[in-house]
Amino acid sequence: MRANPLLLLHTWGGDAATWGPALRHLGADGRHLKALDLPGHGARATEPFTVDGAVGTAVSAYASGTARGPEDASGSEEVDVAGPVDVVGSGLGALVALALAQRHPDRVRSLTLVGFPPAGGAEAARRPADTRAALKRDGAVLFARNYVDSTLLSADPGHRDLLRRAMAGTRPEVLLDSLRATLGWTAHARPGPLGLPCQVLRGARDHRVPAAAADALAEQLGGSSAVVPGAGHVAYLDEPEAFATALAAFHDGLRTAPAD
């Protein structure tokens, strides 16, 4: 039996193309994949970012009953999709994924949140102002380089270039609006039981999301937590194969779980 389709929502400042290194691993079992550009990102760079708009984008990705094949996650081949899909979101995408699952539970079979929840406290409160100042001082290209250099652990320059290019092409106001939304995620999504299978996935070397916070969120959502070995905050770019392995273990467990 072919695995359920997979909907992929990118990290803060990213775009659909940042899923490229992970796609060949995620689609190894023939499952159909759909990586989205959230509003304000990638091919949708001229649009404003709002959580409502991002959820609407995710709903429309498979509202027609189709998804893209693994050969071209952003491209031409459409296949029939019956029923809900497995949704995976990283960082900003995790916020959108959680809001999608809570607002449209009939569309979601399972949910995986990666690099989430965001850190709180005084440092988080200062981060939008600090980010605005850095964007004004450094410009988009240097800001993107500095962020990627301080966040990604992957030694592959191609992985780093994917996120740098995406972030440098994202308008400052979109970066700031989406950052504020992510930091203030509880205004858009509730940290309570979901009633559907949920996993909170964290890179073992993620310095932005404490292990205790990821575990606590998993418990609040009524789900489980797991770790991607060797990965940092953006696990799907740091360690694409290990990320896909962790995700497959979760989804395989759903297929083999006894029915209620």
* Contact call for residues 194 and 87 (beta carbons, < 8 A): no
Average pLDDT value for residue range 180-209: 95
Read off the pTM.
0.91
pLDDT at 212 over 60: yes
pLDDT at 208 over 70: yes
Q: β-pairing, 66-68 with 33-36?
A: unpaired
Of 85-94, 107-116, 119-128, 147-156, which range is least confident? 119-128
CA atoms within 13 A on the CB side of 87: 32
Which residue is listed with tokens 């959230």? 38
pLDDT digits over 154-167, tens only? 999 999 999 999 99
How far apart, in whole angstroms, are the C-alpha atoms of residue 143 and residue 172?
A: 10
Homologous superfamily of 6-254: Alpha/Beta hydrolase fold, catalytic domain (3.40.50.1820)
DSSP assignment of 28-45: TT---EEEEPPTTSGGGT
pLDDT digits over 41-69, tens only? 999 999 999 999 999 999 988 765 444 44
pLDDT at 104 over 90: yes
| pLDDT given for residue 69 in this prediction | 40
Average pLDDT value for residue range 95-114: 96
Question: What does DSSP assign to residue 229?
Answer: T
Within 8 A by CB and 6+ apart from 106, the residues are: 84
pLDDT at 79 over 60: no
What band does 219 get if pLDDT is binned at 50, 70 and 90? very high
How far apart, in whole angstroms, are the C-alpha atoms of residue 117 and residue 94?
A: 8
pLDDT at 76 over 60: no
Q: β-pairing, 66-68 with 78-80?
A: antiparallel
The alpha carbon of 71 is separated from its chain's Cα centroid by a whole number of angstroms, namely 20
CA atoms within 13 A on the CB side of 17: 16
pLDDT at 73 over 60: no
| pLDDT given for residue 31 in this prediction | 81
* Contact call for residues 204 and 231 (beta carbons, < 8 A): yes
pLDDT at 99 over 90: yes
Q: Which of 29, 26, 47 is nearest to 38 (CA)?
A: 47
How far apart, in whole angstroms, are the C-alpha atoms of residue 1 and residue 34?
A: 19
Which sign, positive or negative, has the C-alpha torsion 227, 20, 54, 130? positive
Average pLDDT of every residue of the chain: 90
| pLDDT given for residue 256 in this prediction | 63
The one-letter code for the residue type at 67 is A
| pLDDT given for residue 121 in this prediction | 85
| pLDDT given for residue 70 in this prediction | 38
Cis peptide preceding 117, ω within 30 of 0: yes
Average pLDDT value for residue range 16-43: 92
For the chain, the structural domain boundaries read 6-254
| pLDDT given for residue 243 in this prediction | 98
* Contact call for residues 215 and 199 (beta carbons, < 8 A): no
How far apart, in whole angstroms, are the C-alpha atoms of residue 217 and residue 191?
A: 7
